Amino acid sequence: MTVQRQYTLPHCNLVLEGLSADANDPLSPLAVLMNAECHLPGATDATLAGGREFLDSLVTAVSRYGQQLLSGVPHPRTTGSAPPMVEIKPGDLPYHHHLIVQQQPLGDRVNDVNALPPLDIQLTTVQFYDLMEAVDQLLADTQTLPDMKAQFQAVSRRLVRPTEPMTKRAAPAALGAAALAAAGLALFFVPPPEFEPTRPESEASAPAAASAVPGEPPRADGEETSEAVAANGDDLDRLEGAPAITDAATIALLQSDVTQRLQEAWADAPRPSGDLAYRMAVSEDSDILGYQYENDLALEEVDNTPLPELTFVPVAGAEPVRERVAQFVATFTPDGEVRLEPTEAPAETDASEADTSEADTSEADAAELPALEDKVTDGDRIRELNSDLYDSILAELEPLSANEDLRFRVRLTETGEVVGYEPVNAAAGLLANETPLPNLVTAADSTANQADFQVVFTESGVLEVNPWDGWPQ
Amino acid sequence: MPVDSPPAPQPPLVLDTLANPGLPSDECPRRARIQLDLLLLAIEALDLGGSEAMLGTARDLGLEGLVKGRVHLWLLRGTNPMRRYSQRQPLNIEEAKALVIIICTLARRLTVVVRQLLVGYQQLSDKQLSPEHHFRLADYLSRFRSHFRARMNPRRAGVIAYSSDEKLDELALQLLQELLLCAGVLGPQRLWNSLFDGEVS
């Protein structure tokens, strides 16, 4: 007995016809499906019809597409197989869907002559929903085709194509690599930082202080150590700590003397192709203590110059120079001339050159003090010395032009005579002559027990004197 | 045999229709948590009494054991990482099933409204008019926007993507369409499986 089952929704009408399994029971399920028809009023006038194969394909397509709309993950079609009879694809516009049905002429085999183009039906979301609901109701209905069950299955991770294409995912890594390469290229042109080894402060100043005390006789080994420089000839590093000769007349004398000696020694040497410039240090008795090339040609041609011969070869070790030196730049020109020019004098020596006599005394007195050997240890004596020093400075103190504190270290003998003083800060060094200190120095070469005091002329004009090592207990 | 009224569903029976997806752990993936919360948000925007209806539905379906009142529902929805007060605790499979059932039940109740809105939107977009010309649709969209902005953390990358009104309207319409697809006979199963698309091995 033929049975018809119908699922009706506003935009979809699904009609199934088949043979009932039990002729007497109108509700018995279909044993054989003869025809399935699907009308989509509002979307198309055509009737989609087919047998079991069409129905299976329709159910699969609708279920999968419904799930795809919910999750946004497309269900991949198995590759290699023929396109299914029914296929649903998202439309160009949002909320439009394309139902594509391969049409097959009834009763004939498909060939080139009678093949029909696939039917393309555009559905809105609501129309698609009705189609899906009709199919779902069929699936849920156990009294029509009980063998047809809903087959929901989440899409496997392996079948999902990444949402971003490979190129887009690789972009951050590529960008990083490119940035690294660009940075590397840019840094390639930056020169490596030049490392200049500098002598620690204490090491540089201590020996210099030792040699410059007024009145102290030059140490016996002073000259030997100072010549240590020339061991490598072109190394002036050890001369950096040496005090500079600041007397303009002395410098001029040294200049002409050394020039003459170099000129004579160089008379019959081969002429260089360009200027050879050397920086050199000369001691007060016009010995060349060291030199250093200033240009690359000078380094190559150094053996053709008289410098290696004339340079004093030191006897012992590479100790820093303690002698006073003058620095010159010697230029050997291709014409066979030797020019010698003093390097720029330090700023503070300019002032002392202007007034030589005063500069000499003040320089001698204001030079750095040697380490104290025989200290005054009597606390009462130190207190007395402190107050005496205070009184004697105050007696001659005149208003100073300083705009900051002037800080001095003043050394007294046990009997109260001033041995010397040393500026502690830069302003004190510049303005030492304004203070009464230079006139107070009376016992420059005393060897008696001594004590150091800190003397501060504050900016506001207040005089402060206290023992250097703190008040005795 | 036809019956007058369906038997009162027992909680396990309701949830039994949803098969376990075979995930490596008992926790819901990130996309599922976002999806469930957004669908509930769309329901709230459609129905002013939406949040009450969710609790009522949970009671009617005997899901109190899984959705234990208002605060617990809020905590479950807070597993959405886009939320302002996002919960670090995971959403387990049974709780997610309960939310799916609630969403689908409410979606079915709202089917008529959802259809009207979607048909209206379709007509407007065919005429190239903006959704503001449809009173109820505009109402739904503006309510969705304000719900979304009030509850989502604007500093999250996922939320920044919806910073403009147009983007939010698009999301609201997308959710409307999803609600319609959930409303059918097999809606729960379809929604449930779609949550794990691309997540199972």
Is B178 inside any structural domain? yes
- Using a CB–CB cutoff of 8 Å, tell me whether B193 touches chain A: yes
Three-class DSSP labels, chain A? CEEEEEEEECCEEEEEEEEECCCCCCCCCEEEEEEEEEECCCCCCCEEEECHHHHHHHHHHHHHHHHHHHHCCCCCCCCCCCCCCEEEEECCCCCEEEEEECCCCCCCCCCCCCCCCCEEEEEEHHHHHHHHHHHHHHHHCCCCCCCCCCCCCCCEHHHCCCCCCHHHHHHHHHHHHHHHHHHHHHHHCCCCCCCCCCCCHHHHHHHHHHHCCCCCCCCCCHHHHHHHHHHCCCCCHHHCCCCECCCHHHHHHHHHHHHHHHHHHHCCCCCCCCCEEEEEEEECCCCEEEEEECCHHHHHCHHHCCHHHHECCCCCCCCCCCCCEEEEEEEECCCCCEEEEECCCCHHHHHHHHCHHHHHHHHHHHCCCCCCCCECCCHHHHHHHHHHHHHHHHHHCCCCCCCCCEEEEEEEECCCCEEEEEECCHHHHHCHHHCCHHHHECCCCCCCCEEEEEEEECCCCCEEEEECCCCCC
Contact (Cβ atoms closer than 8 angstroms) between residue A134 and residue A12: yes
Is B14 inside any structural domain? no
- Give the residue among B161, B184, B189, B201 at the shortest CA–CA distance from B38: B161
Residues ≥6 apart with Cβ < 8 Å to A45 = none
* Interface touch B192/A160, C-beta < 8 Å: no
Contacts with A160 from chain B: Cβ below 8 Å: 197-198
Is B2 inside any structural domain? no
- Using a CB–CB cutoff of 8 Å, tell me whether B185 touches chain A: yes
- Using a CB–CB cutoff of 8 Å, tell me whether B17 touches chain A: no
pLDDT at A111: 59
pLDDT digits (tens, 9 = 90+) for A5-33: 889 998 899 998 888 877 777 777 888 88
Distance of CA B179 to the CA centre of its chain: 7
Is B142 inside any structural domain? yes
Contacts with B189 from chain A: Cβ below 8 Å: 150, 152
Is B187 inside any structural domain? yes
0.80 exceeded by the pTM?
Answer: no
Contacts with B190 from chain A: Cβ below 8 Å: 63, 66-67, 70, 152
Angle at the Cα of B93 (from A159 to B189), degrees rounded to 5? 60
Is B5 inside any structural domain? no
A42 to chain B nearest CA, in Å?
Answer: 13
Nearest CA in chain A to B200: A156
* Interface touch B119/A69, C-beta < 8 Å: no
pLDDT digits (tens, 9 = 90+) for A68-107: 888 888 877 666 566 778 888 888 776 678 888 877 655 5
Contacts with A70 from chain B: Cβ below 8 Å: 178, 181-182, 190-191, 194
If residue A205 lies in a helix (H) or strand (E), which one and from where to where? Answer: helix A201-211
B197 vs A67, A95, A129: nearest CB: A67
Please compute the mean of the pLDDT values over residues B143-170 and round it to a whole number.
89
At A49, list the tokens: 């019809």
pLDDT digits (tens, 9 = 90+) for A369-427: 777 767 777 888 888 888 888 888 888 887 777 778 888 888 888 888 888 888 888 88
Contacts with B194 from chain A: Cβ below 8 Å: 67-68, 70-71, 73, 154
Residues ≥6 apart with Cβ < 8 Å to A401 = A431, A434
* Interface touch B190/A66, C-beta < 8 Å: yes
Pairing outcome for strands A418-423 and A406-413: antiparallel
Q: What is the band of B110 on the pLDDT scale with cuts at 50, 70, 90?
A: very high
At A282, list the tokens: 């000369």
Contacts with A95 from chain B: Cβ below 8 Å: 118, 121-122, 125, 173, 177
Rounded to whole angstroms, the Cα distance separating A144 from A139 reads 9
A202 to chain B nearest CA, in Å?
Answer: 58
- Using a CB–CB cutoff of 8 Å, tell me whether A140 touches chain B: yes
- Domains in chain B: how many in total? 1
Is B196 inside any structural domain? no
- Using a CB–CB cutoff of 8 Å, tell me whether A371 touches chain B: no
* Amino acid at the residue A265: A
Domain of residue B31 covers 26-191
pLDDT at A214: 46
B181 vs A70, A155, A160: nearest CB: A70
Contact (Cβ atoms closer than 8 angstroms) between residue A238 and residue A318: yes
pLDDT tens-place values along chain A, 473 residues long: 788 888 999 889 999 888 887 777 777 788 888 888 888 888 888 888 888 888 888 888 888 888 888 888 887 766 656 677 888 888 877 667 888 887 765 555 555 666 677 888 888 888 899 999 999 998 888 888 888 877 788 887 777 766 667 778 888 899 999 999 999 999 998 888 888 777 665 554 544 444 444 444 444 444 444 443 344 444 566 666 677 777 777 888 888 888 888 888 877 777 777 788 888 888 877 788 778 887 878 877 777 777 777 777 666 555 566 677 788 888 888 877 788 887 764 444 444 444 444 434 444 445 567 777 677 778 888 888 888 888 888 888 877 777 788 888 888 888 888 888 888 888 888 778 778 888 888 776 777 778 888 888 888 878 888 888 888 77
Is B8 inside any structural domain? no
